[in-house]
């Protein structure tokens, strides 16, 4: 019984809108994001410059668009690593159980008790700080336990359910059971987890770039731009405003989407 609920629709619409804008930003921006003196320095938002200009006269809107693209790419890549590896391990251990499952769960408990940002910080300082791929790798690794746990719980709880048992009795092979029977039934839990993961990745990356340990120029992400903006809070508050707003919007729309997904399947 699919009802289009408000959250889902609103979330989907907003997300698609933002995605479209960001995609556009890869090919075209109103001004060259790095062009200094594209406009007068420190000018407030205006029809010519929707988010105003910064201390070098660069158009903030273009920069934000580009930064959003960077942030989005990083978040998606992180999600790819974390979700794929995590879900795979979780699915396998959850289905097969046994001592491996126990061990991994203990490990998982130990890791997830830890604030992910600390772990990520540690990892980044080992790899090359400032590079996109370090951030992606570090965050991706940090996210694996979370996804593993969610998937594992979902699969483990389905393991003993009647229709799975009967599938086994009928001789269905392991992979087939996993793919055909269990996966569709765990989707209601996994999909919202993906949206939450995306949001966490965006926020984590932004925080780290803000602190200067994430992405650094020339790969400017929204977090880094915010740290720049902090210095100009007096002179150009619209810099911080615009950048922050975009972050909030990204997380908000994906959050709504996740909320909608959760409700639509009635799993709340």
Partner 1 sequence: MLMVSFLTFAAFSLISGDAAIAALGTSATPERLAALRAELGLDRPLLVRYGKWLLGFFTGDLGVSISYQQPVGELLAPKIRLTLWLSLVSFLLITAVSIPLGVLTAGRRRFEGTRTALNQLGMAVPPFFTGMLLSWVFGVGLKWFAPGQFPDAKEDFAGAAVYLLFAAAALSIPRIAMTVRMLRSTVQEELGKDYVRTAIARGNDRGQVLRRHVLKNALPPVVTFLAQTMAEIVAGSIVVEQVFVIPGLGRMLVSSIGGRDYPVVQAIVVILALWVVLAGTAADLINQRMDPRLRLGGAA
- Contact positions vs partner 1 (CB under 8 A): 6-7, 110, 113-118, 121-126, 129, 199, 203, 206-207, 210-213, 226, 229-230, 233-234, 237, 240, 244, 247-252, 255-256, 259, 268
CB-CB contact of 114 with 168 (8 Å) = no
DSSP per-residue letters across 101-156 = HHHHHHHHHHHHTS-HHHHHHHHHHHS-TB-HHHHHHHHHHHHHHHHHHHHHHHHH
CB-CB contact of 51 with 238 (8 Å) = yes
In the complex, what is the shortest distance from the CB of residue 221 to partner 1, in angstroms, rounded to a whole number? 13
Which CB atom, from 81 or from 246, has the smaller least distance to partner 1? 246
Which CB atom, from 38 or from 236, has the smaller least distance to partner 1? 236
| Measured CA angle at 122 (ends 118, 127), to 5 deg | 140
In the complex, what is the shortest distance from the CB of residue 227 to partner 1, in angstroms, rounded to a whole number? 8
Which CB atom, from 84 or from 126, has the smaller least distance to partner 1? 126
In the complex, what is the shortest distance from the CB of residue 126 to partner 1, in angstroms, rounded to a whole number? 5
In the complex, what is the shortest distance from the CB of residue 107 to partner 1, in angstroms, rounded to a whole number? 8
Measure the CA–CA gap between 34 and 36, rounded to whole angstroms.
6
In the complex, what is the shortest distance from the CB of residue 252 to partner 1, in angstroms, rounded to a whole number? 4
CB-CB contact of 232 with 55 (8 Å) = yes
Which CB atom, from 17 or from 126, has the smaller least distance to partner 1? 126
Which CB atom, from 43 or from 112, has the smaller least distance to partner 1? 112
Residue with tokens 């997904």: 261
């Amino acid at each position: 019984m699919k009802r289009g609920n408000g959250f889902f629709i609103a979330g989907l619409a907003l997300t698609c809108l933002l995605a479209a804008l960001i995609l556009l930003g890869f090919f075209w921006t109103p001004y060259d994001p790095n062009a200094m003196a594209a406009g007068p320095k420190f000018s407030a938002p205006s029809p010519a410059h929707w988010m105003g200009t910064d201390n070098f006269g660069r158009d903030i809107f273009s920069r934000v668009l580009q930064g959003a693209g960077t942030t989005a790419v990083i978040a998606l890549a992180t999600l790819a690593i974390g979700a794929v590896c995590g879900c795979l391990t979780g699915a396998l251990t959850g289905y097969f159980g046994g001592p491996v499952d126990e061990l991994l769960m203990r490990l998982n408990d130990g890791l997830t008790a830890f604030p992910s940002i600390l772990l990520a910080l540690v990892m980044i300082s080992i790899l090359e700080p400032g590079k996109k791929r370090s951030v992606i790798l570090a965050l991706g690794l940090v996210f694996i336990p979370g996804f593993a746990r969610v998937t594992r719980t979902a699969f483990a709880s389905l393991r003993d359910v009647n229709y799975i048992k009967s599938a086994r009795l009928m001789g269905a092979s392991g992979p087939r059971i996993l793919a055909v029977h269990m996966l569709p039934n765990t989707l209601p839990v996994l999909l919202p987890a993906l949206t939450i993961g995306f949001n966490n990745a965006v926020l984590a990356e932004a925080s780290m770039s803000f602190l200067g340990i994430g992405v650094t120029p020339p790969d400017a992400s929204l977090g880094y731009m915010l740290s720049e903006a902090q210095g100009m809070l007096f002179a150009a508050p619209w810099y911080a405003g615009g950048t922050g707003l975009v972050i909030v919007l990204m997380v908000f729309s994906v959050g709504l989407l996740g909320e909608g997904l959760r409700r639509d399947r009635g799993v709340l």
